[in-house]
Chain A
Amino acid sequence: DGGITQSPKYLFRKEGQNVTLSCEQNLNHDAMYWYRQDPGQGLRLIYYSQIVNDFQKGDIAEGYSVSREKKESFPLTVTSAQKNPTAFYLCASSDGQATTDMQYFGPGTRLTVL
């Protein structure tokens, strides 16, 4: 089955901790994205990558970091510098170089800060 997987489904973090969210795709897509979704806010772009070993900041990159060492994987680290990290995090991918292509989403990770 082709698709995007995210793990874990639920994640709890203590204040001051860094946590890493996993995103893997087997669609052979070049581009990958991370979004944050809060109630009433819609989807906000954190980071995106159009090719291996390259990534760009989105609208709300502060307090987050990413890497793109493999085409299939685009992990997101939520650092202690992110002051309000509790949210639903969505990873997506698309098959084109342009960010206007259709994006396909994973099931999401719900992060809660204790």
Chain B
Amino acid sequence: QKEVEQDPGPLSVPEGAIVSLNCTYSNSAFQYFMWYRQYSRKGPELLMYTYSSGNKEDGRFTAQVDKSSKYISLFIRDSQPSDSATYLCAIGGGADGLTFGKGTHLIIQP
């Protein structure tokens, strides 16, 4: 079983919809949780960082962590075409440093 699982998509939703992106992980030692956004042919950009269970909100973005279920989510409200990108989860605190999911390709249809 891979340490971090993320559905590659593509996930296609209409503009204005609420988007839910998710990752599951297996190592209970993980304690740092991040979401990156990567546009095509660009480097990943850090969107959200949290180290505790619960929700963290930043504008239209909400990161949610459920340590008991080993499940993290990123919600995007009022999605825009400019949100179309690949979203990578990244989890740290294990023995091997930061572990990345493979990324979910998100398409927001105008």
Contacts and interface: CB of A to CB of B under 8 A. Distances in A.
Nearest to B103: A42
A42 B41 contact: no
A101 interface: yes
A22 to B, nearest CB: 14
A87 interface: no
Interface in A72-114: 88, 90, 98-108, 110
Interface residues of B, number: 22
A103 B43 CA distance: 11
The binding surface of chain B is classed by DSSP as strand
A42 B102 contact: yes
Interface residues of A, number: 22
Nearest to B49: A102
Contact of B43 (A98, A101, A105): A105
B34 interface: yes
A48 interface: yes
B88 A101 contact: no
Contacts of A103: 46, 90, 98
B41 A101 contact: no
A102 B34 contact: yes
Q: Which 4 A-B pairs have the closest CB atoms?
A: A99-B97, A100-B92, A42-B102, A105-B43
Contacts of B103: 42
A53 interface: no
Interface string B85-110: 00010101100011011110000000
A12 to B, nearest CB: 16
B10 interface: no
A40 B102 contact: yes
A93 to B, nearest CB: 11
Contacts of A45: 97
Which has the most chain A C-beta neighbours within 10 Å: B41, B43, B92? Answer: B43
A17 interface: no
9 contacts: A4-B43, A42-B88, A101-B32, A103-B90, A103-B98, A105-B36, A105-B43, A105-B46, A108-B41
Given A42-B102, A107-B43, 5 more contacts: A42-B101, A100-B93, A103-B98, A104-B46, A108-B41
